[in-house]
A and B are shown apart, each in its own frame.
Chain A
Amino acid sequence: MKKRAIVPPVLAVIIIVLVFLMGTFTPLISILNPDTGVIQNSRDLMIGNETLSLPGLTGKVVVIQDSYGVYHFYASSLQSLYYALGFVQAKERLEQLEVFGLEGMGQMSNFFGSSYLNYDKFQTLTGAPITAEKDWQSVIANASTNSTDMLTEEAMVSYSEGINAYINYSNENHVIPVLFKLLGVRPYYWNPVYSFAVQEIMAQQLEFGSEGLKVSIIHSLLGNYTYDLLPTFSPVQNYYYAGYSGSPNQTVLNISHNTYPINSTVVSLANSLLYQFRYDPPTYFPVQVQDHSNEIAIAGNRTTTGFPILMGGPVLGFSLPAIWFQVQLVAPGIDVYGVVLPGAPAVIIGFNDNIAWTLTDTQAIADGTFFFVQKIIGQDYIWNGTEHPLEEYKINGFEVNWTNLGPVMVQNGSTAIVMDWMGNMVSNEIGSLLEINTASNWSEFKNALSIWKAPYQNFAFANKTMIADISPAYYPIFSGKTYNPAAIMPGNGDEYISGSIPYSQVPQVVNPVQGFIVSSNQRQVGPSYPYWFGMTNSFSDGYRAQMEVNYLEQHPVVSVNNIINFQGTNYTDYEAQAAVPHILSYISGDSNQSVSTAYSLLSQWNFNMTEDSLAASVWFFTYVNLFNNTFLPFLQQHGWIPEYNDTLGVPSAMGGSLPNTTGFASMEDVLLNIILNGSAQPFSNKSVKSLVTESVAEAMHYLESKYPSGNYSWGHFYGFLFPNLFGISEFNVGPIPKGGDFNTPNDASGVGPNNYPTGGQSWEMVVNFSNISHSYGIYPGGQSENPASSMYSNYVNDWINGTYLPLLFYPTTSSFPANEITSVITLNPGGGA
């Protein structure tokens, strides 16, 4: 054989080796494989009828996708209902489900590499993965005797089986989502512990915080000025949905004004822990946002239909896919409509035939996170002078030590800061929600919430004849020396949690005389409430709630459309309404041309933060400057700025709307009080007139230099950005200009450019009890997580425009109008898919 004859086979081997190497060192071969790679995912985008036989499914389920993309599940049993929910939710949101599970369990590095190890370590340290496991074990242990736990076990197991059935289906059919293929990982199988981990994430999103650490450091810097800057009760709020608006309870006030003094070692530890909270946040996806949730219940005697209306708009960080998945769940004993979370098989916010409910975050004890300084010697902690062994956990490759109060978060020698977070109590909030889904009246609803411990939430309720609200949770009662629980407390046994506020005493109201309830993040109870209920430092100044109260007082009778338009497109800023008349009086007659222009604009303004308003920009930046001029020199003088910029944050107005700043609700309240009452003491020796004039001039200088043409309308600064959940900026939507600001009903904090809000009303719903089938809602996102899908972000523009979509609510498949159906998926019990 001639030598050159060997060339072709050698060439063949070289080609094969090159392809092999390409497959070894890059994901190209696996993602481009024509039969198993990414092109197969195009099949997943098809929308049409299909029938599948699924192993483990116990009964037939018909799933109708309506013309808006919402899934309606009609099942013959509860097991098959939750199985189907798991299957379809995984079909649309498997990436999101899996990432939420990993996030909650502190296992992000399993998928995303070692850059997430710090996150995993901190998440493990918080106790969330440990508590998730304990929650599920508790459900299993009590399922035979406790009906809620039994229901939870049944739902969780079936739901997990449904998700896993889809994982098997997607593996067999090569349609596992693109992200998995690109990362070269396989989806892990779901189990109920992950669902409880999602419960933990939500508790972290909504109430987990580091305010206690901040208050202690601030107190070490400011001493008793702390209570001027962060008062226990708001000097301006006057509407409390659950009452108690009398004189301040002196015992409560004394507790709040008795902050435990900490030494430099503890200050240093608190500061390092704050640093961790900031740079390894336990709430990774989506980003945490400040208060902006709305919750209004209106009695029938104040509506055009004669029946109650319930309006909800809970704020969460925006993401694409959105956090919510919109469904109707129907099976014997249940017919509920609303939104579910990835990983939790219960409608969180929604309605059934008889009742409707929505949620907002509480204001007063917003965090439910308490810190103690505790002494640790070796492997023992000291409590009441006695040594007790630390409880050690080894999880996710990390070691975590717990004392009787909770996990040891940070330690230096024998001094440690320990965290007692209410999210670490063994509880079953998912079970509570499952019970609510089938509740038919207030009594059943309230009873279902009696086991709710965390996160701290307001639950607005309505049915055909009544409205109500309740804020159920484990609100601790502190005994012993009772230092301020809003700061670090002594962990030696001097102060301890001796129980919780009785359920009959937690904030609540039924059919109030004024005919409406507003519970939009403001403090629920007034100063005369007999229990310690937090300070004003976190997390809402209550202006949005006050604006909503004003609206309802000015409109004795409202329609469903009025309420939709109110939440969707009303841009009235309550704070501006209260402050601008005073600002005008301060700057009236000023000779400065720019100040004079500002006067002219503000005096003709209707306090609406519309896109085209110049006055809105003047107001916003005037207020921001006034905030800075009043507080920042004072904070600088006391060593807050710049030493603690990274951890306490640089305070700024409007909830920290400016880049790299932090909102302090109490300072907003204090500032408005300064404007109204004309004294800036003890923060500034300048007159308020001088502070205001200076701030207006600075605002005008900024606006006129940025937009010399004079077109500095608000739309240049405000809009919304909807970021891709996985950080792929190509799949972001926005920023899209929109009216509103930090204080308006449809709002968020953040001003552009490069700092647009990425959070807001995550599920806007208006339930109409004159005909519950004529209810409306919208969330900013779409049902699919796939950016290539037409249902990835199709609701965003409707959300921006304040257009609510009909919430189609039909009890059976046969009653569903054919023209409202996009596709039907029939799931049958059977063998392979």
Chain B
Amino acid sequence: MKIGKGAGFLISFLIIAVSGFILLLTGIWYAVIVAGLIGALLVRKGYAVSVLSSFVGGLVSVGILLLTLPTTYLMPTMDEVASISGIGATLLLALMFIITGLLALSGSLIGTFIVYAITGGHASLP
């Protein structure tokens, strides 16, 4: 079945968000790279789709993980860390999201490159 770029983005995003969340639970943050890789290899819609879906998917995977925590106590905890580290709590949280997004994005870049390498420049395999 052929899918459009919009649907491709959605599927890729879902794959990366869910697999990213699962991979985050391993405790190895770098594993999120694999989520981006999987998304790019399974949904081959070119760099634009994979980059966007992997970054947003990465962000959402952290969001899902946060839902498993008592959100009431999240900011007090981050404020504590901020006081010790001298970096604002919001900035710390933003960094956590951005790093996750970038790791997923880097996986998708590699994945899309592999797809291109195999297909000789076609985003979708014949």
Contact = CB atoms under 8 A, between A and B. Distances in A.
Contacts of B79: 788
A9 B25 CA distance: 26
B96 interface: yes
Contacts of A546: none
Nearest to B87: A28
B70 A12 contact: no
B7 interface: no
A35 B30 CA distance: 12
Interface size class of A (residues with CB under 8 A): 35 or more
Chain A, interface SS category: helix
Given A19-B99, A35-B65, A788 B92 contact: no
A513 interface: no
B83 A34 contact: no
B98 to A, nearest CB: 10
Contacts of B100: 34
B69 A16 contact: no
Interface string A576-593: 000000000000000000
Nearest to B83: A730
B26 A35 contact: yes
Interface string B68-96: 01110110111111011100000011011
B80 A787 contact: yes
Given A9-B110, A39-B66, A731-B83, A45 B77 contact: yes
Contacts of A13: 106
A36 B65 CA distance: 11
B100 to A, nearest CB: 7
Interface stretch (A52-60, A153-161, A174-182, A410-418): A174-182
B103 interface: yes
A758 interface: no
Contacts, number: 115
B113 A43 contact: no
Chain B, interface SS category: helix
A594 to B, nearest CB: 46
**Which of A12, A36, A789 has most chain B Cβ within 10 Å?**
A12
A39 B110 contact: no
Nearest to B63: A34
Interface string A38-54: 11111101100000000
**Which of A9, A15, A31, A34 has most chain B Cβ within 10 Å?**
A34
A45 B81 contact: no
B14 interface: no
Interface in A448-494: none
A788 B74 CA distance: 9
Given A8-B109, A46-B73, A179 B84 contact: yes
Nearest to B112: A8
Contacts of A22: 99
A182 B69 contact: no
A786 interface: yes
Interface in A22-37: 22, 28-29, 31-37
A45 B70 contact: yes
Contact of A8 (B73, B78, B84, B113): B113
Nearest to B65: A34
30 contacts: A1-B116, A8-B47, A8-B112, A8-B113, A9-B113, A12-B106, A12-B107, A12-B109, A16-B103, A16-B106, A19-B103, A29-B99, A31-B85, A32-B92, A32-B96, A34-B62, A35-B27, A38-B81, A39-B77, A39-B78, A39-B93, A42-B69, A42-B74, A42-B76, A42-B77, A43-B70, A43-B73, A182-B85, A728-B84, A786-B80
Q: Which 10 A-B pairs have the closest CB atoms?
A: A12-B106, A788-B76, A730-B83, A42-B73, A45-B73, A12-B109, A8-B109, A15-B106, A42-B77, A32-B96
Given A19-B30, A787-B80, A788-B76, 5 more contacts: A5-B117, A8-B110, A29-B29, A32-B95, A42-B76
